[in-house]
Amino acid sequence: MPFDDALRRLILQVIQATHELLAARRTPLAEYQAKRCAPCSLIDLCQPTLLKRSISVEGWLRLQLKEG
């Protein structure tokens, strides 16, 4: 794979998006894709069908403490 300007731009975009996610302190949502997710060994950790709603880690923790 050539490491050209287009790939460099893509890498910088991914880095920027990652920084924004970390700064926002939000858990990225998993996108359930049956063809890929069903056979995946990480589905129990990822839980793409469970985490469809947009909630921060802090919000989720507060909800868990409130319900418990």
Q: What's the structural domain count of the chain?
A: 1
pLDDT digit string (tens) for 25-60? 877 777 888 899 989 999 888 888 876 666 677 887
User: In what helix (H) or strand (E) does residue 12 lie, and over which residues does it extend?
Assistant: helix 5-24
C-alpha span between 53 and 62 (Å, rounded): 15
In which domain, by residue range, is 50 found? 5-67
Residues listed for the chain: 68
Q: What is the pLDDT of residue 6?
A: 92
Angstrom distance (rounded) from CA 53 to CA 38 = 20
CB contact at 8 A, 43 and 61: no
